[in-house]
A and B are shown apart, each in its own frame.
Chain A
Amino acid sequence: MMKTSDGVVDEEGMEMNETDAPETVLRIYEIGYQITPALKEEDLEKIVGGIRSVVEQAGGSFIAEGAPSMMKLAYPMPAREGEKNVEYDRGYFGWIKFEAKIEVAGTLEIALKQNANLFRYIVFQTVREDTRAKMKAPQLREVKRTEPLKAAPRRVEESAAPISEEQLAKAIEDITAE
């Protein structure tokens, strides 16, 4: 038995080496959460600290974070406050991006589910780079608006380029003649 078990161990050891790589693979996750609006702003740090400690205990490292801030929800969300059913129209929205082992996602999911102060959360895999678009909304709208306007400056350029001093003089003459 011992010999066979040793053999098994060896084999497992070999397998372990092979499977070691995926086990130690670090992935980048992001969590987003909505904290109940019933809480005061002073208490937010505690709750965020609680979420952070779950990641820290599992050996995760933080990449970026967005502090929770009050925002209006796009639609009313049903939630349970103690024993009452309530509908929230606002909440403190925050997010954390971190790098951790694969198992952390599961443990974090459980921890967030048990956290009564959060009425909604999301955990998903992402990339290390900053995914937020650099441009701003008004620029976007400008881009949209300039599409039909592009014709106008082009005409100006076209007409501006060929205008020589002679043509200018002619034009002035025409105007003055009138």
Chain B
Amino acid sequence: MSNNILTQNDIQHVDYKDVDLLKQFINPHGRIMGRKKSGLTAKQQRAVEAAIKRARFMGLLPFIQK
């Protein structure tokens, strides 16, 4: 039984506008979680990373949080 959110909820695509979903994969400082912590597959991790970076650029997520 995989422990990652994407597989559990059967999410095939990660959208950069899904801020609430992406927030599950950043720590309180706004940094992206590593694979050990997120439990994602390599493919999922890449998709999440790309989405978070797009969201950051568009001002939906912070680059850093104090």
Contacts and interface: CB of A to CB of B under 8 A. Distances in A.
Nearest to A91: B59
B49 to A, nearest CB: 14
A133 B59 contact: no
Contacts of A129: 12-13
Contacts of B58: 32, 34, 93, 120, 122
Contact of A75 (B15, B16, B62): B62
Interface stretch (A14-22, A38-46, A136-144): A136-144
A136 B24 CA distance: 12
A51 to B, nearest CB: 15
Contact of B59 (A77, A127, A135, A137): A77
A128 B55 CA distance: 20
B59 A74 contact: yes
A144 to B, nearest CB: 8
Contacts of A77: 59
A142 B3 CA distance: 14
Interface in B12-48: 12-18, 20-21, 23-24
A124 to B, nearest CB: 7
Nearest to B50: A124
A95 B18 CA distance: 13
Contacts of A167: none
Nearest to A90: B59
A66 B17 CA distance: 10
A135 B9 contact: yes
B8 A143 contact: yes
Nearest to A73: B59
Contacts of B13: 127, 129, 131
Given A34-B58, A120-B58, A133 B18 contact: yes
A131 B63 CA distance: 23
Nearest to B18: A133
21 contacts: A32-B16, A32-B54, A66-B17, A71-B59, A71-B60, A74-B56, A74-B59, A74-B61, A74-B62, A75-B63, A93-B58, A120-B58, A124-B54, A129-B12, A129-B13, A131-B15, A133-B18, A134-B9, A137-B23, A140-B9, A140-B24
